Amino acid sequence: MTVTRFAPSPTGYLHIGGLRTALFSWLTAQHNKGEFLLRIEDTDMARNSEEATEAILKAFEWVGLSHDGEVVYQSKRFDLYKKYIDQLLEEGKAYKCYMSKEELDALREEQMAKKERTRYDGRYRDFTGTPPEGVEPVIRIKAPQEGTISFVDGVKGEMNIAASEVDDFVIARADGSPTYNFVVAIDDALMGLTDVIRGDDHLYNTPKQIVVYNALGFPIPKFNHVAMINNEQGKKLSKRDGATDVMDYKEMGYLPEALLNFLVRLGWSHGDQEIFSIEEMIALFDPKNINKSASNYNLDKLLWLNSHYIKNTPNDQLAILLKDFGVDIHGHDKLELLLDATKERGKTLVELAEQINLILTTPTQYDEKASKKAFKGEAKEILNDFALMLKSWDKTLHLPCDYHEVMEKIVETKEIGFGKIGMPLRVSLLGSMTGSGLDEIMAILGVDATVSRIERAIQTIE
């Protein structure tokens, strides 16, 4: 059975790069009817934050990436890690290193002066003498000193690293706390991981983890190292470019379906298809099709996808989502018409809320440039005649087409172009030149509110 995982450190928010990694891992498990596990790597007690842990879990809940089983917390597994450290010491596969910080600094300076790669020189690897006083030892694992550490990466292909590139790295600090590469290998093995999907910034941690796997006799999972996400200029993604908290995307009015669809296409493709439902992602995703090269973040693409998902979200569901953006239209008798008239113009829920408020809020002032252009010449007379025509219309005014008929009548009666009524009417109803179709706006407002807004605007025209 395929088992994947996502293992964030709770030292900050969940970044969208992390969410993409989680999505790729989740899809791999779902596609193979396997398990997707969540592990919180909280061994750094000084930097961990409960708020960050909660933020990660909240982001998972928002996007709908469900995990199997209980969340695993590394901070609760220290006894387990100590058991394996002791085992390696007893088997002679690890040793106590008494090298002081001063000695280590001196060694590094010497190696740098010789333009050599800085690395531990193994001086305590076979030490049998009397330990120096006042030095709390670290525990180092015995890495192979010759040969090659090889593995096949699902994205990068065959990787061969000379054993000499991996020194006897520390697996437990002087205070007894275990190090990252040690606990990751143990947890991945004990949690039954078959496939590890992670960013390629972890690529050169892999040889060290393989050393741990081999020392403990654990099976080695398949590795897939995914290229990073760059900004539109091909440089490292920054917070300004979109590398922000996943939950910030919620506040900016993005739908989780759109964000996941956007992320799945950053580094993976299926022909020329751009829009994928969750079901399609699960059916089609295969880590073998992950791109080797880095992908570029494209805000226009994200907005286009979000706009698509807004347009295709049922109106009753949109009404619920809009409550978080200060718009409560749940009981509005023209809810369907209101959303149909505005969701074509809203690329985000924030923009959609603005479009709705533009219609539902009576303007108290008028855009100076727009009113100067619209409220000139015969505008006052045309608006007045149109208001009278609405009040005396002998047919039912309910649908947009009903109001459009009145507009056609004023154009015919006054022998004017459509713009002569369209511009001043729009500014009268909305306070600016933007917004939805005039017939839709009037149908939403109704006759009384439409006439009231026109008469209010007329009073401002000199």
What residues contact residue 436 under an 8 Å CB cut-off, 6+ apart? Answer: 341, 342, 344, 345, 355, 359
Q: Which residue has the tokens 């699902």?
A: 154
Q: What residues form DSSP beta bridges with 72?
A: 39
Alpha-carbon gap, residue 300 to 348, rounded angstroms = 12
What residues contact residue 155 under an 8 Å CB cut-off, 6+ apart? Answer: 200, 224, 225, 226, 227, 287, 290, 291, 292
Chain centre distance of CA 357: 28
Cα Rg of the chain, angstroms:
32
Alpha-carbon gap, residue 141 to 95, rounded angstroms = 7
The 3-6 sheet, strands edge to edge: 3-6, 35-40, 72-73
Q: How far is CA 421 from CA 244, 401, 403, 429, in A?
A: 46, 16, 13, 12
- The closest of 167, 175, 192 to 39, measured between CA atoms, is 192
Contact (CB, 8 A) for 363 and 431 = yes
Question: Both ends of the chain: CA-CA distance in Å?
Answer: 78
- How many C-beta atoms surround the C-beta of residue 228 within 10 A? 15
DSSP string, 85-106: HHHHHHTTSEEEE---HHHHHH
3-state secondary structure of 73: strand
Catalytic, 239? Answer yes
Handedness of CA 379, 385, 388, 393 (dihedral sign): negative
Q: What residues form DSSP beta bridges with 3?
A: 35
| Candidates 58, 235, 236, 239; catalytic one | 239
Chain centre distance of CA 109: 42
Alpha-carbon gap, residue 294 to 234, rounded angstroms = 8
239 annotated ligand binder: yes
Q: How far is CA 415 from CA 237, 318, 410, 418, in A?
A: 58, 42, 8, 9
Q: Which residues are catalytic?
A: 239
Binding residues for ATP: 239
Residues annotated in a binding site? 239
